[in-house]
Amino acid sequence: MKKSHRSWLARSTDEGETWEAWDPENYVGDFGKNQELKTIRELLNSQKDRFAMRVMGTAYLGAEDPRGHFFFDYDAGQSWNVPYGFGDFQNQEELTRYWNKVELTPRTDYLVTGPQECIIFMSARPEGKSCKDRLFCVKTSDGRKTFEFLSWVVIPYKEEELSQAVKVPRARIKKRIPGPPSPVPLCRNPLPWKMEISLQ
């Protein structure tokens, strides 16, 4: 039987001397497996002092949403909003180029570049294939109403594309050539040596 997961938050206000942990309302795990994802109506301002965001996908701490979703808060994690979706990003062309069915598996990694601009680092994998995740980043310029694929960080590949990979030549030691005496005594070998290597 699978163990259930509960997502809590922990916060310190004294530089890590003491910590407070709690289970927030309207947060991860509070909306069931088939949760309804909302659409942003008002532009989010990521540069507010107490802004926070949590990004979720599937196969992480009990999450089972292959669409991916996020929560946000303007009160330093005290009052979260219901989950919001990434639109139809699961079927984005750059992802389906490599996999027929896609699962989004993101964690919470993002870089704020403006009041309504943000770069979010996400990951995806073929449906049901663990340990096949590939990292990429997306950008929003309209307060998270829409999301644009930016670039791969770790690009997937198809089997037929393997021939395009860079092949590293193998090295073979041909012989050892004695070198000049060393001014520093060497353990068990008074004379240093160097290798002559050929690449195949």
d(CA 182, CA 190): 7
Place of tokens 């993002």: 110
Do both 27 and 91 map to the same domain? Answer: yes
Q: Write the DSSP symbol of residue 96.
A: H
Confidence bin at 76 (pLDDT 50/70/90): confident
Q: Is the pLDDT of residue 199 over 60?
A: no
Q: Identify the H or E element spanning 116.
A: none
pLDDT exceeds 60 at position 173: no
Check residue 139 and give its pLDDT.
Answer: 94
Could you tell me if residue 1 is inside a domain? no
198 pLDDT above the threshold of 60: no
149 or 186: which leads in pLDDT: 149
Residues 70 and 154 in one domain: yes
Instruction: Specify which residues 83 forms β-bridges with.
Output: none
Average pLDDT value for the chain? 79
* Tens-place pLDDT, residues 114-141: 999 999 999 999 998 888 899 999 999 9
Distance CA 107, CA 122 (A): 7
Residue 116 neighbours by CB distance under 10 Å:
17
pLDDT tens, position by position, 41-57? 888 888 888 898 889 88
pLDDT band at 161 (very low <50, low <70, confident <90, very high): low
**Of residues 118, 149, 117, the one with CA closest to residue 136:** 149
Q: What is the pLDDT of residue 169?
A: 56
Q: How many domains does the chain have?
A: 2
- pLDDT above 70 covers a percentage of the chain that reads 73
98 and 20 housed in the same domain: yes
Does the pLDDT of residue 27 top 60, yes or no? yes
Percent above pLDDT 90 for the chain: 24
Quote the pLDDT of residue 15.
Answer: 87
What pLDDT shows up at residue 1? 44
Residue 2 lies in a domain: no
Residue 179 sits in the same domain as residue 134: no
- Residue 143, strand partner residues: none
pLDDT in the model for residue 119 = 94
Q: How confident is the model at residue 171 (pLDDT cuts 50, 70, 90)?
A: low
- Kindly state whether residue 153 falls inside one of the protein's structural domains: yes
**Same-domain status, 112 and 38:** yes
- Evaluate whether residue 65 is within a structural domain: yes
Residue 103 counted as domain residue: yes
Based on the fold, state whether residues 119 and 185 are members of the same structural domain. no
Q: Provide the residue range defining the domain that includes 65.
A: 9-160
Within a domain: 109: yes
Residue 18 CA to residue 167 CA, distance in Å, equals 52
Q: What is the pLDDT of residue 111?
A: 92
Distance CA 170, CA 160 (A): 23
Helix, strand or coil, per DSSP, at residue 54: strand
| Dihedral sign of CA atoms 67, 52, 46, 35 in order | positive
* 4 assigned to some structural domain: no
55 in any annotated domain: yes
Same domain membership, residue 124 and residue 172: no
